[in-house]
Amino acid sequence: MNQGKCFKMTPLEYYSKHASDQYEQKLKRTKSFLQKINQDYSPLVQATSLGVEDMIITDLIHQLNLSIQISMLDTLKLHPETLALKNQAEIYYDIKIKSYYPNKKTTQNYIKKNGKNAIYQSTELRKECCHIRKLIPLTDLLRNYKGWITGLRKEQSNFRANLQAIEPEDKEKDQPEVKLNPLLDWTNGDVWYYVKTHHVPYNTLHDHFFVSIGCKPCTRAITLGEDFRAGRWWWEQNETKECGLHVSKPISFNSYQS
């Protein structure tokens, strides 16, 4: 049964009541972290998925008046609700979110060769689709930036539990040297408490228990007791459900954690 049908409270109503005891300290550290990395790794780009964590980061960038570019990957397979949020955020924060798209000919060739439903046939074909629609455009999105900011949190999956606030990237020409994760230690309760108290716009799909929102064919709502990432590529059995955007070699920079 869909959780939205059997659980009458929205995530905002439920989780915003359960911020962690350390929430205020985390918020203070996150603001300091963003200000420090803006000094140390400029120019910076926030690669937003328009997920609730990314919306918090955009809100903080706006609050702190930081000169950080906000960009997104439009795979041409996003939910209408996600695209509506982009427009809403641009108006709300008076910003322009720059979109990056997959190559039209490459996507057409993939479909012609493998069919419209190829992603459901094998993990390899699904990852190839992710590569075409996400990883290749990401290279363009990140070009000429020293660092990029994500909304990853340790709580989201076992794989992400091992991430660090600052992770070195395999430096390639014109690509960032670090990936930056300001909300790494935030809980789900912290996230929704911030959204409620700061009136942050968010994707209405979250109200229907779409927790991790990606492309429309690859995303579903989760049910009670399921992992945060269970709604992504749910037909696959492997535990590490990633598209390839967030695989790197972590190190700890303790000076940013104080």
CA separation for the pair 229, 196 (Å, rounded): 23
Set 130, 215, 218, 243: catalytic member: 243
CA separation for the pair 88, 138 (Å, rounded): 23
Give me the torsion for CA of 61, 189, 169, 162, rounded to 10°.
Answer: 160
CA separation for the pair 66, 69 (Å, rounded): 9
Q: Is 179 helix (H, G, I), strand (E, B) or coil?
A: strand
- Packing angle, helices 188-198 and 23-40, rounded to 10: 80
Give me the torsion for CA of 108, 82, 208, 191, rounded to 10°.
Answer: 130
The verdict on whether 6 is a catalytic residue reads no
Largest CA distance in the chain: 53
Tell me which residues are annotated as active site: 243
